[in-house]
Structure 1
Amino acid sequence: MDTFLLSGGNVLVRLEPSAGTIFNRNIFAVSMAGEVLWQIDESSHGTQADKPFMSLYRDENDQVVVGCWNGVTYAVDVENGKIRVIQFDR
């Protein structure tokens, strides 16, 4: 299921990749006018080729957080789509 999140007048969108499709940069910021502002950085962790982002949410501190297939949780800079590790789950 695709996920949408409002952030600072923009919409963050997480697209669910089709089975068998490698689409690791599957989160975008889109303006209300429909312009794609950025596409998330790919996770540099893990050795597998297929490692899409599986979740998109705000934490208790109002920080945008994404969970990756490879077991790493990242905070997202909503201005540019850059990610930084906040937790290793595996």
Structure 2
Amino acid sequence: MGGCLEALKPEILFSQASFKEARDYIKTNVREYYEVEPGYKIFDVHIIGVPPLYVGVEGDYVIFPYTKPCHGTFVVKVVGGEEIERLRARKK
């Protein structure tokens, strides 16, 4: 994965997915999720894909799709910190 994301020590929940499979995984498996626009920046990573794109929140973790060229899309889980509050604030 990219240098920035590796530093966060992501847990890979789903790998080599399509954009749709990643979206469906988050929608089906995560109770709290938010729709974000393509290019939305979480940590130092821009989320790319075909809308709608979802970022999930589960406890202290954020769950989001990460696309690595030539390797496909992964759904990753990392400690969320301030990103969780930033996501929740978008809804208001």
Considering only CA atoms, is the larger Rg found in Structure 1 or Structure 2?
1
Tell me the TM-score normalized by structure 2.
0.30
Tell me the TM-score normalized by structure 1.
0.31
Greater relative contact order: 1 or 2 (C-alpha under 8 angstroms, separation 6 or more)? 2
Richer in strand (by share)? 1
